[in-house]
Structure 1
Amino acid sequence: MPASDAFAGAAERRSRITEQVRHWCERARLDGRHPDLSDAAALLIAAGRVDPATREILSARRRAGRAFPSIGGFGELRRLADEHSRTVDRAGALRPGPVQLAYRYRAGELGKRLGALRSTMTMSGAHYASGVRAIRRDRRDGVHLDLDQRDALFDALTRTPAPVSVQRQHLHDVRNALLEGAAVRVARISDRSRARDAGHRVAEALERAAISDDDRFVDRYDTLLFLAGTLYDRIEGSGAWHSEHFSIQRAQLDLADELTQIAVDTVALHGIVGELDGALSSTPEAREHVASRRAALEPVWDQLVERVAALARIGDLLAHAESQLRAVASMRWATGLDHRIDELIARSGNRELSAENTHQVGDQLGEVEELLGAFRATLGGDIAALTARG
């Protein structure tokens, strides 16, 4: 293939993936259902929400292999924190009475669960130094987090990007309706168990009837961060990425640092856009200036989309490379088997050794190695584009 055609093909592929990422983000929706981010990805994204000093310590802990407490997934922590916030807001908006009391009770229960998780994350003696000498040693090594820094990290983890599907939102609405209905009935009748049991049966029936839908997010920023974290998990989990074939590319790209930097810029952009929107609503006379500043930020969003799209291109290339590597392993097995068969024939006295099949397998191995070379070249171009930031 001529170089110009190869370049055109790569450019078309980049454009296509970039537009797909932009489409997903603008509608805050991903096709299908997706697992929550790994703890590693969630922590890297959370590092984008803390101050630079804490971020540097988190990076040092990662390089030193220092682990953090596990609480069963930070996506669930996000949903728990969101439900707590909504419940508190709802309770504050209601007039005093049985319904408000029910919401306050629910908010208190959710707050207790959040408090227990915070303690697990911030007070673990197995993960943080506690003695004076141990703390001094960790500070000298740049891996010690003070208690306020751990609290800030936990707060950042409550913002872990996570899908909020139509099914989950529907069940949340049903739960609220049942909560209000139960509170009213408790105020009217004394048979509490009957109302509660009926509510549970209705909720279970609705949950069984709910139709699975695409994953949705609160805004384009959460969508972008979830995509970036998912791609990090995909690339880090790739056997091809960790193989000797891509050792040079691994040295070129610090994947963990790239994810954190994407988070830093995305969080900053989201915050500034929110401030501009607030200024627009409070000071209409500044509309023209605010609009111009918002327009000036659009290239920043475009760059973030491009950076996540570059991760998506790398993930796609690695998926193809893994397929080729599996073919290499299969062919090597076939080649070894052919040699064993030939040796058996030779030992039986038949000297007419047919090596044609072995040669064919060897030729195929050569073709696969050429394909892997092409993957390495294309991947190198994607990484160069990803890391060439001014």
Structure 2
Amino acid sequence: MVDNRRRGLPTTGTTSDEIRSWCDQSRLPGDRPELSDTAAILVASGFLTPSGRAILVRRISTGLPVPVLHSGFGDLRRLGRAIAQSEHQLANPMMPGVVAAVMRNRVNGLHRRRDDARKLIVTAKGVFAGGTRAIRRERRENVYLEIEERERLFAGLMCTPTPDANTSGYMRRAGTAAMDRLAGVVGQVAAKTGYPQAGEWANQILVPEPEGASTAPLGTPGSVTFVDGYETLLFVAGHFYDRIVRNPAWLSDHFEIQRTQVNLHAELAEIAADVIALRAVRIDLDRAKRNGGFDRTFAEHIDRRETALRPVWTELIDRVQALGEVAAVVESAAVELRVLAEYDRASTIDDRIDDLIARSGDREISVDNAKRLTEQVRSGEEQLRIYRDVLQGNIARISPAVPRELPARYEPS
């Protein structure tokens, strides 16, 4: 085998301490691609009931179709963010009426886009069974996702972990050309009406965070940010999942046994469910402490329950780190398989060279045979020429050179 250290390849994956640090800062180093459709759906399955989540995992494991969006579920998250931010601006009573009218048109358009996306996921044709007999068959096979579960899935996909979804530059990227046109309209309104606030609305529409809302740290060059540590952990888990399942080495015959030992789809779905449940519990604990913290006994009880939850967070980080280890090993194995493929290709060339060398004696014999055949042919040609000349002479003797004319009538002499 080839020494990975000599080639500078990582022999281990991301450590738990690194993942914990990323979650504490809600930031990942480097530019990260968005989650694949399958990873986003599995993360969103954490919002489903256990039975609905098991059905979705079973569909993915058996290759049955699942809902997809051509633009990706990251755009769905950005769409939801644009709606929330635009509605927050509309709620301001000081907004000029002409600007509010433009904003309402924009919000209505965003709502229509969201409704169209919902139809693609909840009532997608060609994905889930539509006829009565087909629905009964899928229910018997336990792969039919009920409408209520699809609604939960859509709600979960609206929260798809997406890099830089809530940073200051988010709306400029998420709004597309429509938001730019809106900014231009608002700027014209400011110039014509003389409202000094109108120009500010344009900037607030593109960049602001709702006042009092929790914000992720601003992104720095070479990093991506998330809303909180829970979303960061979900994204990291989905990122590791994508690295594994997209690697050709994982799908090769070399890991056939390993693929039967672990269901990565179910693993990611369970991690997502636990992270989402833990986040919900922590939010409820914080709310309870905020509302009843004046009672010392109650506050101490809340603190004890928070302490009891800390091992759960550590366990989730360790599970995600284990996925990262698998991803690192599979990627390292992919490099080794490429090297082995080159070795096989080189050995094939060696075999072909050896075969050519081994056949050199046969070629020498073939050359000798060819020379003998040529001599025999030439000898045969000489014999044929002789035979032709002899045959020509015989023909000449049979046919006289001067043709004789027979008399018209035979008369005996």
Give the TM-score normalised by structure 1: 0.75
Q: Which shifted more, 210-219 or 31-40?
A: 210-219
Partner of 1:151: 151
Partner of 1:40: 38
Letter matched to residue 334 of structure 1: A
Query: Is contact 1:94–1:100 with CA below 8 Å preserved after alignment?
Result: no
Partner of 2:189: 186
Are residue 106 (structure 1) and residue 106 (structure 2) matched?
Answer: yes
SS in 2 for 1:144: coil
Cα distance between partner residues in 2 of 1:345 and 1:253:
49
Q: Deviation at 1:44? A: 0.9
SS in 2 for 1:67: coil
Q: Deviation at 1:279? A: 1.2
SS in 1 for 2:124: coil
Q: Deviation at 1:47? A: 1.0
Partner of 1:344: 356
Q: Which shifted more, 160-169 or 292-301?
A: 160-169
Query: Is contact 1:167–1:212 with CA below 8 Å preserved after alignment?
Result: no
Cα distance between partner residues in 1 of 2:284 and 2:157:
22
Partner of 1:171: 172
Partner of 2:16: 18
Partner of 2:337: 325
Query: Is contact 2:230–2:279 with CA below 8 Å preserved after alignment?
Result: yes
Could you report, residue by residue, the CA deviation over 1:263-305 in whole angstroms, capped at 9, with x for unpaired residues? 0100000000011111122122233222221121111110011
Change (3 A) 1:106 1:181: same
Letter matched to residue 155 of structure 1: A
Query: Is contact 1:29–1:217 with CA below 8 Å preserved after alignment?
Result: yes
Letter matched to residue 343 of structure 1: D
Query: Is contact 1:41–1:229 with CA below 8 Å preserved after alignment?
Result: yes
Partner of 1:63: 61
Partner of 1:363: none
Cα distance between partner residues in 1 of 2:305 and 2:260:
38
Cα distance between partner residues in 2 of 1:55 and 1:279:
29
Cα distance between partner residues in 1 of 2:220 and 2:105:
30
Cα distance between partner residues in 1 of 2:147 and 2:94:
38
Q: Deviation at 1:219? A: 0.5
Cα distance between partner residues in 2 of 1:66 and 1:251:
18
Change (3 A) 1:94 1:295: farther
Q: Deviation at 1:131? A: 2.0
Cα distance between partner residues in 1 of 2:108 and 2:271:
35
Partner of 1:27: 25
Partner of 2:305: 293
Query: Is contact 2:60–2:66 with CA below 8 Å preserved after alignment?
Result: no
Q: Which shifted more, 116-125 or 260-269?
A: 116-125
Q: Deviation at 1:83? A: 1.7
Query: Is contact 1:167–1:213 with CA below 8 Å preserved after alignment?
Result: no
Are residue 279 (structure 1) and residue 282 (structure 2) matched?
Answer: no
Partner of 2:86: 87
Counterparts of 1:295-314 in structure 2, within 5 Å, are 295-314=307-326
Query: Is contact 1:60–1:143 with CA below 8 Å preserved after alignment?
Result: yes
Partner of 1:270: 279
Partner of 1:384: none
Could you report, residue by residue, the CA deviation over 1:157-194 in whole angstroms, capped at 9, with x for unpaired residues? 11111111657427269998995785475277289xxx
CA RMSD of aligned residues (A): 3.2
Partner of 1:237: 246
Q: Deviation at 1:248? A: 2.4
Query: Is contact 2:46–2:53 with CA below 8 Å preserved after alignment?
Result: yes
Letter matched to residue 35 of structure 1: P
Counterparts of 1:179-218 in structure 2, within 5 Å, are 182-183=185-186, 185-186=188-189, 189=192, 213-218=222-227
Query: Is contact 2:77–2:160 with CA below 8 Å preserved after alignment?
Result: yes
Partner of 1:258: 267
Q: Which runs of 5+ in 2 are unaligned?
A: 1-10, 207-218, 363-413
Give the TM-score normalised by structure 2: 0.71
Q: Deviation at 1:329? A: 0.8
Change (3 A) 1:144 1:170: closer
Q: Deviation at 1:64? A: 3.6
Change (3 A) 1:111 1:248: same
Cα distance between partner residues in 1 of 2:174 and 2:248:
42
Could you report, residue by residue, the CA deviation over 1:332-383 in whole angstroms, capped at 9, with x for unpaired residues? 1111111111111122239xxxxxxxxxxxxxxxxxxxxxxxxxxxxxxxxx
Change (3 A) 1:53 1:95: farther
Change (3 A) 1:183 1:340: closer
Q: Deviation at 1:322? A: 1.0
Cα distance between partner residues in 2 of 1:173 and 1:120:
21
Change (3 A) 1:190 1:27: closer
Q: 2:346 aligns with which of 321, 326, 334?
A: 334
Larger radius of gyration: 2
Letter matched to residue 310 of structure 1: A
Query: Is contact 2:78–2:174 with CA below 8 Å preserved after alignment?
Result: no
Change (3 A) 1:245 1:172: closer
**Number of residue pairs matched?**
326
Change (3 A) 1:284 1:327: same
Letter matched to residue 104 of structure 2: R
